[in-house]
């Protein structure tokens, strides 16, 4: 797995990710209260969510989306291309990340930044990832879906292990915060209860 840089036991693609940058983000990046962060495991619908949020921010006007590349509208925090854009950006920032939550900037926990976490069925992530990576030269191509399945189960994805991208404890904490923040709303808004 020499196509990867490892950080705290998690493989990141060597082409766009540097260990020093992830350390810098974790320890020194300052999350602003007005920031919105889209967090996903790779191949979980990241681009779709970015497009939806960008349309919401522009009240449905597609001009921004049509004229500014996605990586500039919502840069990936942990990439060599995205990080400089984010730290120099004025005003509210739309940020994207595939980092597992325990590698997020420490400042996120003391800010009021909005976190949008999208999760996708792991079978769909597996198949989408396999076909995506097998058509690129960004990492060693898996020999077969079975080989990629073994890599996936071992947590050798591009940002670690799908099942530990967000832990059960973190999911429960988010659920508790959500319930507290939504306490005054009518129960019929939440049909899953």
More confident residue, 3 or 61: 61
Question: Would the pLDDT of 58 be above 90?
Answer: yes
pLDDT higher at 138 or 58: 58
Q: Residue 151: which of 138, 141, 136 has the closest Cα?
A: 141
The CATH class given to the 4-180 domain equals alpha beta
> Taking the CB of residue 148, how many other CB atoms lie within 10 A of it?
21
Count of C-beta atoms within a 10 Å radius of residue 116? 15
Q: Catalytic residue numbers? A: 98
Location of structure tokens 């940058």: 21
Write out pLDDT tens, residues 132-160.
878 877 667 778 889 888 888 877 666 66
Residue-wise pLDDT tens digits, 64-98: 999 999 999 999 998 888 999 999 999 899 999 99
Q: Is the pLDDT of residue 191 over 70?
A: no
The band of 1, judged by pLDDT with boundaries at 50, 70 and 90, is very low
* Range in 46-50, 84-88, 104-108, 132-136 the model is least confident about: 132-136
Predicted pLDDT of residue 33: 95
> What is the helix (H) or strand (E) element at residue 63, kind and residue range?
helix 63-67
Q: What pLDDT does 88 receive?
A: 92
Quote the distance between the C-alpha of residue 180 and its chain's center: 25
């Amino acid at each position: 797995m020499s196509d990867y840089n490892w950080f705290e036991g998690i493989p990141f693609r060597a082409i766009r990710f540097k260990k020093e940058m992830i350390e810098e983000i974790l320890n020194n990046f300052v999350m602003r209260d007005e920031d919105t962060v889209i967090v996903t495991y790779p191949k979980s619908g990241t681009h779709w969510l970015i497009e939806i949020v960008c349309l919401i921010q522009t009240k449905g006007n597609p001009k921004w989306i049509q004229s500014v590349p996605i990586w500039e509208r919502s840069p990936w925090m942990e990439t060599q291309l995205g990080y400089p854009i984010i730290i120099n950006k004025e005003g509210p920032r739309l940020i994207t990340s595939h980092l597992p939550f325990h590698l997020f900037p420490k400042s996120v926990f003391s800010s009021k930044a909005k976190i949008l976490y999208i999760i996708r069925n792991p079978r769909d992530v597996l198949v989408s990832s396999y076909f995506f990576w097998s058509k690129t030269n960004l990492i060693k191509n898996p020999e077969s879906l079975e080989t990629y399945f073994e890599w996936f189960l071992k947590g050798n994805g591009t940002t670690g292990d799908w099942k530990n991208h967000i832990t059960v404890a973190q999911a429960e904490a988010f659920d508790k915060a959500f319930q507290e923040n939504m306490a005054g709303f009518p129960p019929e808004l939440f049909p899953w209860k």
